[in-house]
């Protein structure tokens, strides 16, 4: 077992979790559907406000994917009224002036704080902070307003475009909503952003900068422009418009790209003694964080960067590879990405007597981009808590290049889990790994 360099760092635990994605608008519902192997991928119901008129003049390519992990019937006002203690008129009013990515973050944060049992009125606001990441920010508002600008002129552009669009407004609005005056920032590191946010919030508490942090990621990028961009670069799964639930296929020979998804995952992290003093329910302990850069290619991942990232996280956690029981991988279902991640894991775990179980939950949720790492961190924690590994669905013909691990195909499985690893890798060669541990005082 490796040892941490600094044994004086404060311990950090997870005391609250909140989630919104295409499988549901709360952690319990999403987790139940995930364990049942249900897919949240379906035909999109509203890709862009101008889509119908646009397609008349510009027909979509025959293989354009009209599928996504889209959230339907999302109502932040209703969630505010059920999850927040005495929501103010200002809370309700701000909904009108926020982009969908911010609304998702507010909904997930409300659940996370409620789940934590915190009474924020009794906490020192200067010791509570917010770090919420996003890959794309308010791209929906940007797209809507650029069309308005081109068609109707400058005076028709919304004065709220900038605060709707800029990436830090999810964190900013959550901070305002909960009166958190400690560290307040956003990260935008592509598909590793949610995991990076959790890692940096963990560091803030470890180092004494805060006692409480609301942290995670959020994304609402299912728009015609964004999907067209990913489609043109060959990143999206195609050929499944008639069977969307089968489109996301991590580790399967038939995989040909990822499925866009949206939503948010938020954790409440807390310094251990602070949590114990108030009798908090503790879901898990976060014990390791690693981050690296590939310095290789803007979109193609490199196994060396992923491998170093995982090693750093395990070293930070003070555990050996053989102590990892479960891995929630990045596993987006791209041909190169899945293969390289499995190769990196194989090299990390090549000498252990028992390989960890690995399951690709994006097979059910699709890829939430900047929110993926946070949502999957919650899945990892739930697996630790309940001793159940969620399945990898759509694994009909395992790719020989991804052999070597048990990917828990089709059905959830009970297992003893003490340590678990969650990986997130992003464009630009940015990598993040988190290690969680079943809580033991």
- Among 264, 332, 311, 241, which Cα is nearest to 71's? 264
Whose tokens are 């194989």? That residue is: 346
**Per-domain residue ranges of the chain:** 12-56+69-232+261-277, 287-437
The pLDDT of residue 51 is 66
Span 286-292, average pLDDT: 98
CATH superfamily of 12-56+69-232+261-277: Thiolase/Chalcone synthase (3.40.47.10)
Higher-pLDDT residue of 81 and 317 is 317
Looking at 33-171, which runs of residues are DSSP E strands?
A: 42-43, 67-68, 128-133
What's the DSSP call for residue 265?
E
Contact 49, 404 (CB under 8 A): no
- Per the residue annotation, which of 196, 274, 330, 419 is the catalytic one? 330
The pLDDT of residue 301 is 81
Query: Given the DSSP bridges, would you call strands 128-133 and 419-426 parallel, antiparallel or unpaired?
Result: unpaired
Q: What is the DSSP string of 175-239?
A: HHHHT--S-EE----GGGHHHHHHHHHHHHHHTTS-SEEEEEEEE---SHHHHHHHHHTT-B--S
Residues 64-109 have pLDDT tens digits of 999 999 998 888 888 887 787 777 777 787 788 899 999 999 999 9
Tokens for 338? 């899945």
What's the DSSP call for residue 367?
B
Q: What share of the chain is helix, strand, coil (3-state, %, to 5)?
A: 40, 20, 40
Q: What is the CATH number of domain 287-437?
A: 3.40.47.10
Residues 24-41 have pLDDT tens digits of 999 999 999 999 999 999
367 classed as catalytic: yes
The pLDDT of residue 1 is 42
Do the domains at 12-56+69-232+261-277 and 287-437 have one common CATH topology? yes
309 classed as catalytic: no
Distances (CA, A) of 316 to 3, 329, 434: 8, 19, 10
Cβ neighbours of 233 (radius 10 Å): 11
Query: Given the DSSP bridges, would you call strands 284-293 and 430-437 parallel, antiparallel or unpaired?
Result: antiparallel
The pLDDT of residue 52 is 65
- Per the residue annotation, which of 191, 240, 309, 402 is the catalytic one? 191
Cβ neighbours of 143 (radius 10 Å): 19
Which band of pLDDT confidence, cut at 50, 70 and 90, is reported for residue 123? Answer: very high
- Per the residue annotation, which of 196, 302, 367, 419 is the catalytic one? 367
Instruction: Kindly calculate the radius of gyration of the chain based on its CA atoms and give it in whole angstroms.
Output: 21
- Percentage of the chain lying above the pLDDT 70 cut: 97
Tokens for 335? 């041909």
């Amino acid at each position: 077992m490796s040892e941490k360099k600094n044994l004086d760092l404060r311990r950090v635990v997870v005391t609250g979790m909140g989630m919104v994605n295409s499988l549901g608008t709360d952690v319990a519902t999403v987790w139940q559907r995930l364990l049942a192997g249900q897919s949240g991928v379906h035909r999109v119901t509203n890709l862009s406000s101008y889509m119908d008129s646009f397609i008349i003049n510009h027909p979509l390519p025959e293989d354009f994917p009209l599928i996504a992990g889209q959230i339907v019937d999302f109502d932040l006002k209703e969630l505010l009224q059920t999850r927040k203690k005495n929501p103010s008129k200002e809370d309700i009013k701000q909904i009108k002036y926020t982009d969908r990515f911010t609304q998702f973050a507010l909904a997930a944060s409300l659940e996370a704080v409620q789940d934590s049992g915190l009474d924020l009125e009794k906490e020192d606001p200067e010791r509570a902070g917010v770090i919420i990441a996003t890959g794309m920010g308010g791209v929906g508002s940007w797209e809507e307003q650029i069309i308005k600008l081109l068609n109707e002129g400058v005076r028709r552009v919304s004065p709220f475009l900038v605060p709707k669009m800029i990436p830090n407004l999810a964190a900013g609005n959550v901070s305002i909503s909960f009166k958190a005056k400690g560290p307040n920032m956003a990260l935008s590191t592509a598909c590793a952003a949610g995991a990076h946010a959790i890692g940096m919030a963990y560091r803030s508490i470890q180092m004494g900068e805060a006692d409480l942090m609301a942290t995670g990621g959020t994304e609402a990028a299912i728009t015609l422009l964004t999907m067209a961009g990913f489609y043109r670069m060959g990143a999206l799964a195609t050929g499944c418009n008639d069977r969307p639930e089968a489109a996301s296929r991590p580790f399967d020979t038939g995989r040909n790209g990822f499925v866009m998804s949206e939503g948010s995952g938020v954790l409440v992290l807390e310094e251990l003694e602070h949590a114990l003093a108030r009798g908090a329910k503790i879901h898990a302990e976060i014990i390791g964080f690693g981050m690296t850069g590939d310095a290789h290619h803007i979109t193609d991942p490199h196994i060396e960067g992923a491998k170093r990232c995982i090693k750093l996280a395990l070293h930070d956690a003070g555990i050996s590879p053989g102590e990892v029981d479960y891995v929630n991988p990045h596993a987006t279902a791209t041909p190169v990405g899945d293969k390289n991640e499995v190769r990196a894991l194989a090299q990390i775990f090549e000498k252990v007597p028992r390989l960890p179980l690995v399951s690709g939950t994006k097979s059910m949720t699709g890829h939430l981009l900047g929110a993926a790492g946070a949502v999957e961190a919650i899945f990892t924690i739930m697996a630790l808590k309940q001793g159940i590994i969620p399945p990898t669905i759509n694994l009909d013909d395992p790719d020989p290049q991804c052999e070597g691990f048990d990917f828990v195909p089709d059905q959830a499985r009970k297992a003893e889990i003490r340590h678990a690893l969650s990986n997130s890798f992003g464009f630009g060669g940015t990598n993040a790994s988190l290690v969680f541990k079943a809580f033991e005082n």
